[in-house]
């Protein structure tokens, strides 16, 4: 088979070009090729996307550029670079990456819709503010204004004369009366009592101030709605870090949860994913499915993506704490999930 973009010879069974990374088969069902990626660059793409969600944009861009050095026509890298620049508010750069992506895949409606949304957002930013209409105030007629001014001055003069007369009358009455003094007014005033400050209330007193709440767990790059949902899900899951994102072009919610510590097994990863989905459906019960990802601490530092899948309301109905071995195996067979091949799961 010959690649239609770089004209390299590739095996007939390949779904991508080994030279430029272009997608060859559009009807493949392998989730590793769902966004134009291949087995060689998929771990790097997952790491770049994880860096993006952590707010490490420059590191994510470096990883994407290294992939482009080997596969300059890879669609997923172009889309990821566009999303990274859009997260930073650099809409012009994001538009350029998506324009290149639409040239690579002109028949992809998702890419075209994302490009249209970015252009609309950029146009709204650079549009000048609407002019403020000047108030339609009619100038007062000269004669009416002069009459009003004279009337105000006359009123002020009358009021001043009345106040002056009242003060003169009061002074004359006070001067005609003798000054009376009593002994009480001449005696010194008693010293004021010292102000007593009450001692501070004990720690167990009802008057003691309540302790400040712990700061909410947050992630960079989320909107106000996404951050609010992530905080609610984290509280439902006993403080486990959660990240949420909504893709308006695909009309799809994504959620990511982090396993803090403990033995890493497929059963436990599935329980965490179902618990996250179960909490999500309490807020959005009419959602068809939720894109769930699970990350865990890496032995080399940082985090690593260990699991990703689409979970629906049927799986959210399961109680993750009461899953038995048969239910776990049935759920694993039902899911079209991706497991990190570099992780040694303990059972």
Q: What is the pLDDT of residues 194-227, one digit of tens each?
A: 434 344 444 444 433 333 333 333 445 788 899 9
At 3-43, the pLDDT tens digits run 776 677 776 666 666 555 566 665 444 444 444 445 667 78
Of 86, 111, 126, the residue at which a domain comes to its end is: 126
pLDDT in tens, 59-115: 999 999 998 888 888 888 899 999 999 999 999 999 999 999 899 888 898 889 999
| Gap between the Cα atoms of 287 and 74, Å rounded | 31
- pLDDT tens, position by position, 231-265: 999 999 988 999 999 888 778 899 999 998 877 88
Does residue 210 sit within a domain? no
Residue 17 lies in a domain: no
User: CA 224, CA 218: separation in Å to the nearest integer?
Assistant: 11
Q: What's the predicted TM-score (pTM) here?
A: 0.40
Buried b (16+ CB within 10 A) or exposed e, 220-250: ebbeeebbebbbbbbebbeebbbbbbeeeee
Compute CA 129 distance to the chain's CA centroid, rounded to the nearest angstrom: 26
Total tally of structural domains belonging to the chain = 2
Residue 161 resides in a domain: no
Q: What is the CATH number of the domain that holds 282?
A: 3.30.70
Whether 266 is in a domain gets the answer: yes
Residue where one domain finishes, among candidates 126, 149, 181: 126
Residue 5 lies in a domain: no
Structure confidence at residue 213 (pLDDT): 37
Q: What are the C-alpha distances in Å from 184 to residues 26, 178, 179, 192, 194? A: 107, 18, 15, 17, 23
Are 98 and 78 spatial neighbours (Cβ–Cβ below 8 Å)?
A: yes
pLDDT of residue 284: 93
Domain boundary among 110, 126, 142: 126
CATH number for the domain harbouring residue 81: 1.25.40.10
Does a structural domain hold residue 1?
no
Domain containing 268: what range? 224-339
In a domain, 272, yes or no: yes
| pLDDT of 337 above 60 | yes
Query: Per the structure block, which two tokens stand in for 274?
Result: 């179902």
Residue 181 reports pLDDT greater than 50: no
Cα–Cα distance, 244 to 162 (Å, whole number)? 74
Nearest CA among 86, 9, 5, 73 for reference residue 38:
73
Averaged pLDDT for residues 47-60: 90
Pairwise CA distance, residues 79 & 100, whole Å:
9
Establish if 328 belongs to a structural domain. Answer: yes
């Amino acid at each position: 088979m010959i690649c239609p973009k770089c004209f390299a010879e590739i095996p007939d069974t390949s779904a991508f070009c080994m030279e430029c990374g272009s997608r060859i088969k559009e009807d493949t069902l392998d989730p590793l090729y769902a966004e134009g990626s291949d087995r060689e660059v998929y771990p790097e793409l997952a790491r770049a996307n994880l860096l993006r969600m952590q707010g490490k944009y420059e590191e994510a861009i470096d990883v994407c550029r290294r992939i482009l050095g080997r596969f300059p026509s890879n669609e997923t890298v172009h889309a990821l670079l566009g999303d990274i620049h859009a997260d930073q508010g650099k809409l012009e750069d994001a538009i350029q990456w998506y324009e290149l992506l639409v040239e690579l895949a002109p028949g992809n409606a998702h890419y075209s819709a994302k490009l249209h949304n970015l252009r609309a957002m950029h146009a709204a930013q650079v549009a000048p503010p609407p002019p403020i209409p000047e108030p339609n105030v009619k100038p007062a007629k000269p004669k009416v204004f002069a009459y009003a001014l004279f009337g105000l001055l006359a009123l002020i003069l009358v009021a001043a004369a009345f106040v002056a007369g009242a003060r003169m009358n009061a002074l004359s009455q006070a001067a005609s009366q003798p000054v009376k003094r009593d002994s009480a007014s001449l005696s010194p005033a008693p010293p004021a009592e010292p102000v007593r400050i009450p001692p501070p209330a004990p720690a167990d007193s009802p008057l003691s101030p309540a302790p400040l709440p712990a700061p909410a767990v947050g992630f960079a790059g989320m909107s106000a709605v996404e951050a609010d949902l992530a905080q609610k899900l984290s509280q439902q899951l006993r403080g486990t870090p959660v990240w949420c994102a909504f893709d308006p072009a695909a009309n799809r919610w994504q959620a990511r949860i982090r396993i803090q510590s403990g033995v890493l097994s497929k059963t436990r990863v599935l329980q965490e994913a179902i618990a996250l989905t179960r909490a999500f459906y309490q807020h959005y019960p009419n959602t068809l499915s939720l894109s769930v990802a699970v990350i865990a601490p890496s032995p080399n530092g940082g985090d690593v993506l260990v699991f990703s899948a689409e979970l629906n309301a049927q799986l959210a109905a399961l109680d993750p704490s009461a899953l038995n071995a048969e239910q776990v195996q049935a759920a694993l067979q039902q899911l079209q999930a991706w497991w990190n091949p570099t992780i040694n799961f303990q059972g």
